[in-house]
Amino acid sequence: MSDQRWDQLCVQSDSAAFIAEQLRATLAESGYAPYDPFHGGSGTPPRFKRFVRLFVLPPHSGWTRVLGAQDADVLPALLRALSADRLLIHAWFTAERGALDAYRDGAADSALLAPYLSDAPRAADAPHSATLPPDVAKLAESRGVNPKQAEKLIGRLARNVFGAQASNVQQDAAQLFRSAWQSAGAQQLLTALNRLRLPFDLRAPDFETLRTAYQAARMLARRPTASLLDAERAALDAIPYASDLLPIYVGK
């Protein structure tokens, strides 16, 4: 999740490659250029000031999901491109608002959601991430700190300061992401998600788990005997398809 928003696109498509191609093309039209910050990649160009970071998941039961915060200025064009001749469900929230929207051929139509909604809501559990303790999460929330940025920072500090013991520090850091789902906007989305019936749970996985699993998979592909932190192993266990993820990392 970025400082401003959380997004997930669910597209009726069996081709992750096609969805990734549409994303790259539409973002390129808005001036975004690709970069590769992962193991063995070229890194992040210092000239970039704005970023869009997404993962396209492998297709599941006729749906392909895209996780990651969108650029609100480019989002309308992406919705038009990805919903051409197909259904697209957009789950999103900001600090103040959240909703489920459905599109076909670029047009929003709430009636498109009807076949996927139930009158019997599920329990409104918020998603979990893998890293910070409740007291730290509460402090971060009270100070307006982005949970995912704090999570990343602690991970980096743990590696630098504690070395092989870093995983213990990260495990001891476990719940900060939950606080991001306690905003008014997130609660609105959760209320909608509790009625949604799809072959997967839109509340999982979280973006940071995807990023950690993909980075670990990339590292193992280059160095099969590489040592992993416990958090990286846990991410790979949670995302067994990590090597099949398609990252869309662009900046400008």
Give percent helix, percent strand, percent coil of the chain, each to the nearest 5: 40, 20, 40
Which residues form the domain of 67? 5-122+184-223+241-251
Does residue 9 register a pLDDT over 80? yes
Instruction: Summarize the confidence of residues 76-93 as an average pLDDT.
Output: 97
> Rounded to an integer, what distance in angstroms lies between the CA atom of residue 67 and that of residue 54?
6
Q: Between 213 and 127, where is the model more confident?
A: 213
Is residue 102 within 8 Å of 179, Cβ to Cβ? Answer: no
Instruction: Summarize the confidence of residues 56-69 as an average pLDDT.
Output: 97
Which amino acid is present at 39? Answer: H
Instruction: Summarize the confidence of residues 67-71 as an average pLDDT.
Output: 96
**Does residue 23 sit within a domain?**
yes
**Does residue 211 sit within a domain?**
yes
Residue 111: strand, helix, or coil: helix
pLDDT at 150: 56
Q: Which of 88, 86, 87 is nearest to 8 (CA)?
A: 88
Instruction: Summarize the confidence of residues 87-107 as an average pLDDT.
Output: 96
Measure the CA angle with vertex 223, ends 217 and 224; round to 5°.
75
Report the domain count for the chain: 1
Instruction: Summarize the confidence of residues 100-118 as an average pLDDT.
Output: 96
Is residue 181 within 8 Å of 214, Cβ to Cβ? Answer: no
The maximal CA–CA distance of the chain, rounded, in angstroms, is: 53
Q: Quick one: CA dihedral 206, 248, 197, 101, positive or negative? A: positive
> Rounded to an integer, what distance in angstroms lies between the CA atom of residue 28 and that of residue 239?
29
Instruction: Summarize the confidence of residues 58-66 as an average pLDDT.
Output: 98
Q: Tokens representing 3?
A: 């400082």
**Does residue 51 sit within a domain?**
yes
Q: What is the mean pLDDT of the chain?
A: 84
pLDDT at 128: 47
CA–chain centroid gap for 40, Å, is: 22
Q: Which of 129, 119, 111 is nearest to 194 (CA)?
A: 119
Instruction: Summarize the confidence of residues 154-166 as an average pLDDT.
Output: 49
**Does residue 62 sit within a domain?**
yes
Q: Which of 182, 193, 1, 183 is nearest to 96 (CA)?
A: 183
Instruction: Summarize the confidence of residues 228-235 as an average pLDDT.
Output: 89
> Rounded to an integer, what distance in angstroms lies between the CA atom of residue 65 and that of residue 164?
35
Does residue 144 register a pLDDT over 80? no
Is residue 248 within 8 Å of 23, Cβ to Cβ? Answer: yes
**Does residue 178 sit within a domain?**
no
Does residue 126 register a pLDDT over 70? no
> If you write DSSP's letter for every residue of 145-190 in order, what string do you get?
--HHHHHHHHHHHHHHHHGGGHHHHHHHTTTHHHHHTTSHHHHHHH
pLDDT band, very low/low/confident/very high, at 134 (cuts 50, 70, 90): very low
Does residue 149 register a pLDDT over 50? yes
**Does residue 129 sit within a domain?**
no
Does residue 131 register a pLDDT over 50? no
**Does residue 236 sit within a domain?**
no
In the numeric block, the tokens 């250029």 are attached to 33
Q: From the CA atom positions of the chain, what is the Rg in Å?
A: 18
**Does residue 150 sit within a domain?**
no
